A and B are shown apart, each in its own frame.
Chain A
Amino acid sequence: MKIVGVAACTVGIAHTYIAQEKLENAGKKAGHDIHIETQGTIGTENELTQKQIDEADIVILAADVKIAGRERFEGKRIIQVKTETAVKSPNKLIEKAAEVVK
């Protein structure tokens, strides 16, 4: 399946990027196509394209703060968690996403 998501933590220095790495690795390992945008101190990186969002089966928001551009995901299936959850159990989160899509 195709997954897009956003990672954003409080300070925007560490958890955001660790969550991104863990989610992307877990997603790829499970055979999915996955893109995680980061919103941190440095700004938005790996910004999702409209095409990626349109094609996505599910959206994972791993965020401890209000994310920018949430309206981009309107009408899509969204799983929202804290960055902690993505850092702690990325594989479980991806499994859950797959179940939701089923």
Chain B
Amino acid sequence: MMEVKDIVDINTIKTNINVKSKEEAIHELAGVLLQNEYITNVEAFVEDIYAREAVGQTGIGNYIAIPHGNSHSVKKIGVAIGITKEEIPWETLDGKGVKGIILFAVGKENDGAQQHLKLLSLFARKLGNDEVVEKMLQSADAEDVKEALCN
């Protein structure tokens, strides 16, 4: 059976990241996606992420932001997760800043990717759960983050 843990890659989870802005956070996490071969090009990917940012807030409250979008530069569906050292400014639904950033990488053509999209939807649901989010934000390392999301 498919489970959320199958889409949470320990190599794309970064805790204690030292970023001061939304821009820095998105670039940092896009870099992580590039290193781990989820995307082919940081600039093109970030541009597509910002296209979605322009449509509406991706700060969902509870210190969480979920920048996402469809990009040709994505070769493998996945997520990068960053927990910041300090709260950073972001446009959010509750007016607070953000400490946990989940950057979704999804392609434009998703033929044959149904299974991964399904996993991504299960993953997104987790972010709608206050307890999961709280635990995730308190994580000291990538293992803790994965555990918070996969339990």
Which residues in A have some Cβ–Cβ distance to B below 8 Å?
A: 10-11, 13-22, 25, 38, 40-42, 45, 64, 84, 87-88
Of B52, B55, B57, B124, chain A has the most CB atoms within 10 Å of the CB of B124
Across the A-B interface, give the 4 residue pairs with the lowest CB-CB distance, nearest first: A21-B128, A17-B124, A18-B128, A88-B93
Q: Assess whether A17 is in contact with B117, with CB atoms less than 8 Å apart.
A: no
Q: How many angstroms between the C-alpha atoms of A11 and B74 in the bound complex?
A: 15
What is the interface residue range for chain B against chain A? 20 to 34
Instruction: Check B125–A21 contact: CB distance below 8 A.
Output: yes
Specify which chain B residues have a CB less than 8 angstroms from the CB of A40 in the assembled complex. 117, 121
Show the binding face of B for A, using Cβ within 8 Å: 52, 55-57, 60-61, 66, 68-70, 93-94, 104, 106, 110, 114, 117-118, 120-122, 124-129
Kindly list chain A residues whose C-beta atoms are within 8 Å of the C-beta of B68. 11, 13-14
* In the bound complex, CA of A10 to CA of B110 (Å): 16
- Determine the chain A residues whose CB is within 8 A of the CB of B120 once the complex forms: 13
A-side contacts of B69, CB under 8 Å? 11
- Would you call the interface of chain A mostly helix, strand, loop, or mixed? helix
A20 surroundings in chain B (CB, below 8 A) = 125, 128
Besides A15-B124, A25-B128, 5 more A-B contacts (Cβ < 8 Å) are A14-B66, A16-B121, A41-B117, A87-B93, A88-B61
- Residues of B within 8 Å of A87, CB to CB, are 60-61, 93, 128
- Chain A residues with Cβ below 8 Å from B70 are 11, 13
Give the distance in Å from the alpha carbon of A60 to the alpha carbon of B81 in the complex: 31
CA distance A34 to B133 in the complex (A): 23
Residue numbers in B under 8 Å from A10 (CB-CB): 52, 55-56
**B121 and A42: CB pair below 8 A?**
yes
**Contact across chains for B125 and A17 when beta carbons are under 8 A apart:** yes
A14 near B127 with CB under 8 A, answer yes
Q: A13-B68, A84-B56, A88-B61 are in contact. Are A42 and B117 (CB under 8 A)?
A: yes
